[in-house]
Structure 1
């Protein structure tokens, strides 16, 4: 009787052993898969990271003047995994506008250039192309590159010049920029540049300035950075920021349509990245990011409707550009497909969450809490800029380092690398 009672128990133990063995195997496969997702962010040299390559199935963007010269040929092909593939774009011009999320965008482009061993046209002295001297971009502002190399990207602050840029970049370069609603962009500019923009320094507060801008801003002023006080985005784009005539604004829009493959919208940053990914034929991993150079959320004031109207009225060109390109942006989203956009946003958020979990400590830190000078963002007087702090185990991970590296250390890193390439 004892033997018979033990046999069923032995059978159950065998079943349990088999079940535990299967569970262990499943867990091991899960760990390997997760490790590929997380550790593939590691790239210790500027060589192409093959582990991040994902099959893309969109067709190349058509170069036409209509619809920004960028038409998606077959949305279903990308979604269903059709065999048609496009070739990733490597020649890129990014018009880096001020206070539009452009530093985060630049970080994405710099990491791509580093990983794929591309050459970035770098400013001679610092992180901008002689911007403070009101000079439009030309090739003499760019660091020399090694013999046999061509410049693939221009992505630093400048005053736009189509002739200057086309003389440096290959003819097939992809042109894009990003705009932000002046109602919030202008307030951010005021806070960030208050101590260096003459019209701002004279005002008691932002509300004081916007209540009567002509009191502080003189149209004939040629003082350094005075252009930030009126239509600053239009100035970055190379246009006369003081000529607000309707005909002039119409001609500006036409010129931008003829120049840029796409104009992105800062308020919809992730959606903009998805559209950019489509245009560049990049992978989802290529556009993953952590925000850099942002103010502490609690210090950003709410701009009410009345104040917004005053800001937009004072910045008429910027407001008209934003209104036009916000409309065309949503047309592109609709053409891309709302459901498809939602699905891709979900994928992007998953990758961003993995990056954040693997690379950085919880929460954002202000400048004074960052002890390593290499990672300190520029912090203007009276502004609390926030940034991430690396986890101990990620301090030697090249991709984690690059994700949070500020703009000037990036310029130094690329300068050193390209001099020895």
Structure 2
């Protein structure tokens, strides 16, 4: 009996040792595998693609193409970029795409600091994002790890003199540099002697000089004769597949539609975040020259990408462009007739529904909005509502918390600023 028990114990002791050694061997092999895997992927900055997109569409091709939707839109200030953002929001909702939204109750990625993935709400390397489109200061290395490899970068630029006029009036009350400018026309006084008021490192001073160059991640006070400037433009051209132009907005959307292989209906729009006409200050030729000279880096930037833009139009075909722009404008007019009471925008105080009231700059109520038409036909109801919805409200309906923006708006209205 004792002999049998000893034999039984020796059997299970040996079996346990074998199992223990096997378990240790399995743990060792798994550890080695994970180590090799980590080393092999340590330099891979790109998440796994989550979209079902095909090859990019070349301009003017007879071959079939596939819609692209891994997109980074650099939303440059005061260029009409809010209208483009509405197009992206609608397309993303329609196709259930994943947006990278700002964290911290903001509508931008901690601007004016350079973009960081820490500013993305709920960021995780395991999450696959399709679209990044809110305001940021461009930082290509940080952005590279947010989207799949086959992503499409695009942005929009505006003629620098008109952009400066718009930026000065929209952001001026939030720029302390402007507070000590005397006289009724502060912009004219500033342009006649900018260095009397401007300090490169002043709070919000980036709104007053070369704003587009700054948003693209560059030094707004760089010497315009710096020999590195040409390389900067070439690098930006290599990164951005399309640079749209505000002055040729419809032509830009046609090129965008073509490159993304979207439908014309995907790029219908109403202009959003635009000022009432009475608030726009026409620039006489002398002031316009002064604005361009003061924003010389933006002027050189715009000239470079104006050339690349029309090169793309030539490839697309000018006659074809004329026809497609005409069709886009006709469809936009039909949508305005179907959606908008009176067919056009109204002043902020006349917008009845809060859902369609645009964000207003400090101290003013100059941004127009729309009144939704009563009795919209059923097929157009959802599209009308989406096209009329400003950025903040659209982000809210997509589940983004904008508590910081709402708190700022509350205190701003409380003190009537």
Among candidates 347, 350, 369, match of residue 387 of structure 1: 369
> Given the superposition, is the C-alpha separation of residues 325 and 383 from structure 1 closer, same or farther in structure 2, using an over 3 Å criterion?
farther
Q: Which residue number corresponds to residue 89 of structure 1?
A: 68
Look up the SS of the partner of 2:99 in the other structure.
coil
Among candidates 348, 353, 359, match of residue 367 of structure 1: 348
Aligned equivalents of 1:299, 1:264: Cα separation in 2: 25
CA offsets per residue over residues 225-256 of structure 1, 9 Å max, x none?
Answer: 21111111111111111112422322220220
Answering whether residue 87 of structure 2 is matched by residue 108 of structure 1, we say yes
Aligned equivalents of 1:235, 1:208: Cα separation in 2: 23
> Given the superposition, is the C-alpha separation of residues 164 and 149 from structure 1 closer, same or farther in structure 2, using an over 3 Å criterion?
closer
Q: Which residue number corresponds to residue 164 of structure 1?
A: 142
Aligned equivalents of 1:90, 1:105: Cα separation in 2: 14
Q: Which residue number corresponds to residue 353 of structure 1?
A: 333
- Is there any run of 5+ residues in structure 1 with no aligned partner, and where? 1-57, 62-70, 78-83
| Contact persistence 1:191–1:383 (CA under 8 A) | no
Q: Which residue number corresponds to residue 120 of structure 2?
A: 142
**Number of matched pairs:** 339
Aligned equivalents of 1:322, 1:202: Cα separation in 2: 31
- Structure 1 residue ranges (4+ consecutive) displaced by more than 3 angstroms after TM superposition: 58-61, 145-149
Among candidates 56, 59, 63, match of residue 60 of structure 1: 56
Answering whether residue 391 of structure 2 is matched by residue 402 of structure 1, we say no
| Contact persistence 1:175–1:260 (CA under 8 A) | yes
Q: CA deviation at 1:93?
A: 0.4
Answering whether residue 312 of structure 2 is matched by residue 332 of structure 1, we say yes
| Contact persistence 2:348–2:365 (CA under 8 A) | no
CA offsets per residue over residues 159-208 of structure 1, 9 Å max, x none?
Answer: 11001111111111100010001110000000101100122233231101
Aligned equivalents of 1:243, 1:295: Cα separation in 2: 31
Aligned equivalents of 2:279, 2:170: Cα separation in 1: 12
Larger Rg: 2
Aligned equivalents of 1:88, 1:254: Cα separation in 2: 27
Look up the SS of the partner of 1:365 in the other structure.
coil
> Given the superposition, is the C-alpha separation of residues 346 and 257 from structure 1 closer, same or farther in structure 2, using an over 3 Å criterion?
same
- Is there any run of 5+ residues in structure 2 with no aligned partner, and where? 1-53, 402-417
Q: Which residue number corresponds to residue 242 of structure 1?
A: 221
Aligned equivalents of 1:349, 1:371: Cα separation in 2: 27
CA offsets per residue over residues 235-280 of structure 1, 9 Å max, x none?
Answer: 1111111112422322220220121111111100000000011111
Answering whether residue 257 of structure 2 is matched by residue 281 of structure 1, we say no
Which residues of 2 match residues 14-413 of structure 1 at below 5 A? 60-61=56-57, 71-72=58-59, 74=61, 77=62, 84-124=63-103, 125-131=105-111, 134-144=112-122, 150-204=128-182, 205-219=186-200, 221-223=201-203, 225-246=204-225, 247-362=227-342, 363-380=344-361, 381-382=363-364, 384-394=366-376, 397-413=381-397
CA offsets per residue over residues 124-177 of structure 1, 9 Å max, x none?
Answer: 12210111xx32111111112799752100000001100111111111110001
Aligned equivalents of 1:226, 1:341: Cα separation in 2: 39
Moved more, 377-386 or 101-110: 377-386
CA offsets per residue over residues 79-131 of structure 1, 9 Å max, x none?
Answer: xxxxx210100100000001000000110011000111001100012210111
Moved more, 404-413 or 371-380: 371-380
> Given the superposition, is the C-alpha separation of residues 357 and 260 from structure 1 closer, same or farther in structure 2, using an over 3 Å criterion?
same
CA offsets per residue over residues 59-85 of structure 1, 9 Å max, x none?
Answer: 834xxxxxxxxx5253xx3xxxxxx21
Look up the SS of the partner of 1:94 in the other structure.
strand
Q: CA deviation at 1:298?
A: 3.2
| Contact persistence 1:295–1:383 (CA under 8 A) | no
Q: CA deviation at 1:370?
A: 1.6
TM-score (norm 2): 0.77
